[in-house]
Amino acid sequence: MSRSRKRKKSQFRNRVILYVLAIVWLVVSGILLQWSVFMYKSVIYDISMVDFATKNVLRLLLGVFAFLLGMWVYRFRAGGWVNWLFYVSIGLLVMTYVSGKAFGGATRWIAVGPFTVQPSEFVKYTLIMYLANLSVSEKGASTVRIFWKALIISAGVSLLILFQPNFSTAVVLLLSVVITLFLLGATVPQMVASVLFAAFLGLIAYNVFGHVRERIEIFLGKGAGSYKAAQVIQAKVSIVRGGVFGKGPGMGLQKLGYLPSADKDYAFSNLFEEYGLLGIPGGALWIILSLIGITWVGLWAAQRNDDPFRRFVMVGFTVTFFTFSFVHIAVNIGLLPPTGLPLPFVSYGGSALVANAFALGYVFRGVIKMK
């Protein structure tokens, strides 16, 4: 075997290891965070340790199944099955308006037996597959040609999510689609126009939804003393307290009622408090590097994929995963207004875990096909 071939084989192996290790690192950090928060919740809400452990094991098993399912689905090329998958997910999203389960002022979940499912977590990936199928079905139309059609469809889906209400998911989903289209060839004028369109929708949301206006005003320094403003402050306190190596596993104080959603919306802040910047394994730097590693390997493999449908899906899945992760972290450190977005594989939530596992399983299959 030539030296050049050996080097390429070694580089490929390193990328596969990096991808898998990064996912495992995020999952392990999430498990440690869940148990840390559980120590407080078990006392306050009288939660059984057995029940909590059972639910977490079930979530992980479903995640593994979804990852393998994503790898299996990669085998199929573009076709009508993609459209039906998208329609079913949209149907579930519409069901939240009919028989949805409300929590925290939003109706985003539907009950499936003893479990709840958040359809928007699945829609954000089936939408990408639908747009990829659209591109291929129109005789391999370029991204420039399908841009406006793709943007209108995505805006329609985002509006369905927006009125749950779920402004953050709607906006970040639309942003993910626009970035995906840009990476696949959309022009700069198209990008500028889409940004102006998004700004227009944002202006409407600001005037229609009180919680959107409240969060933006808090970000701009107004509304001090409100519940949401306190969350923003406490999230920053977590980071200051964490420092370089953190307070230690389970030793964080913010989860004790100071910062609500310690294992969900503010997972990154709570990990930062307990593990700091460099603590193992939940240190902020390692979380960020894991996310960057997954994104880099995913885009690397996508750009080298010969199949237009798979290339589109891999880019879209990777960009969506990274964008939602980035926004979660940016909110936690105060760079963006407060939202309710989870940190993939770290925050508590079955729907998000399954959806993200499916997406990365699909991309991983594309990665190993580069051998």
* Domain-wise residue ranges, the chain: 24-368
What is d(CA 343, CA 33) in angstroms, rounded to the nearest whole number?
Answer: 12
What is d(CA 109, CA 127) in angstroms, rounded to the nearest whole number?
Answer: 19
What is d(CA 277, CA 299) in angstroms, rounded to the nearest whole number?
Answer: 26
For the chain, the helix, strand and coil percentages under 3-state DSSP, each to the nearest 5: 70, 5, 25
Q: Which residues pair with 302 in a beta bridge?
A: none
What is d(CA 347, CA 333) in angstroms, rounded to the nearest whole number?
Answer: 16
What pLDDT score was predicted for residue 102? 67
Give yes or no for a contact between 252 and 260, defined as CB atoms under 8 angstroms apart. Answer: no
Which of the 8 DSSP states describes residue 283? -
What pLDDT score was predicted for residue 236? 86
Q: pTM of the full predicted structure?
A: 0.93
Tokens matching residue 15: 């990328």
Give yes or no for a contact between 309 and 132, defined as CB atoms under 8 angstroms apart. Answer: yes
Tokens matching residue 222: 């107004």
Q: What is the CA radius of gyration of the chain?
A: 21
What pLDDT score was predicted for residue 76? 94
pLDDT tens per residue across all 371 residues of the chain: 577 778 888 888 999 999 999 999 999 999 999 988 887 777 777 777 788 888 889 999 999 999 999 999 999 999 999 999 999 999 999 998 887 776 666 678 787 776 788 999 999 999 999 999 999 987 666 788 889 999 999 999 998 998 888 888 999 999 999 999 999 988 989 988 888 888 887 788 788 877 778 778 777 767 655 556 677 788 888 999 999 999 999 888 888 877 777 788 899 999 999 999 999 999 999 999 999 999 999 999 999 999 999 999 999 999 999 999 999 999 999 888 888 899 999 998 889 999 999 999 999 999 998 76
What pLDDT score was predicted for residue 163? 85
Residue 114's CB is within 10 A of a number of other CB atoms, namely 6
The tally of CA atoms less than 13 A away on the side-chain side of residue 39 is: 13
What pLDDT score was predicted for residue 199? 82
What pLDDT score was predicted for residue 225? 57
Angle made by CA atoms 31, 340, 298, in degrees to the nearest 5: 65
Cis peptide before 308 (omega within 30 of 0): no
Positive or negative, the CA dihedral 347, 349, 350, 356 is negative
Give CA separation, 198 vs 136, 171, 195, 203, 310, in Å: 26, 8, 5, 9, 27
Place of tokens 């880019």: 315
Cis peptide before 165 (omega within 30 of 0): yes
Give yes or no for a contact between 110 and 92, defined as CB atoms under 8 angstroms apart. Answer: yes
What is d(CA 134, CA 185) in angstroms, rounded to the nearest whole number?
Answer: 15
Q: Taking Cα atoms as reference points, which of 131, 145, 165, 148 lies closest to residue 314?
A: 131
What is d(CA 166, CA 168) in angstroms, rounded to the nearest whole number?
Answer: 6
What is d(CA 301, CA 133) in angstroms, rounded to the nearest whole number?
Answer: 19
Q: Taking Cα atoms as reference points, which of 264, 237, 343, 263 lies closest to residue 38?
A: 263
Give CA separation, 267 vs 108, 142, 212, 235, 328, in Å: 20, 39, 21, 10, 9
SS3 113: coil
Give yes or no for a contact between 267 and 327, defined as CB atoms under 8 angstroms apart. Answer: no
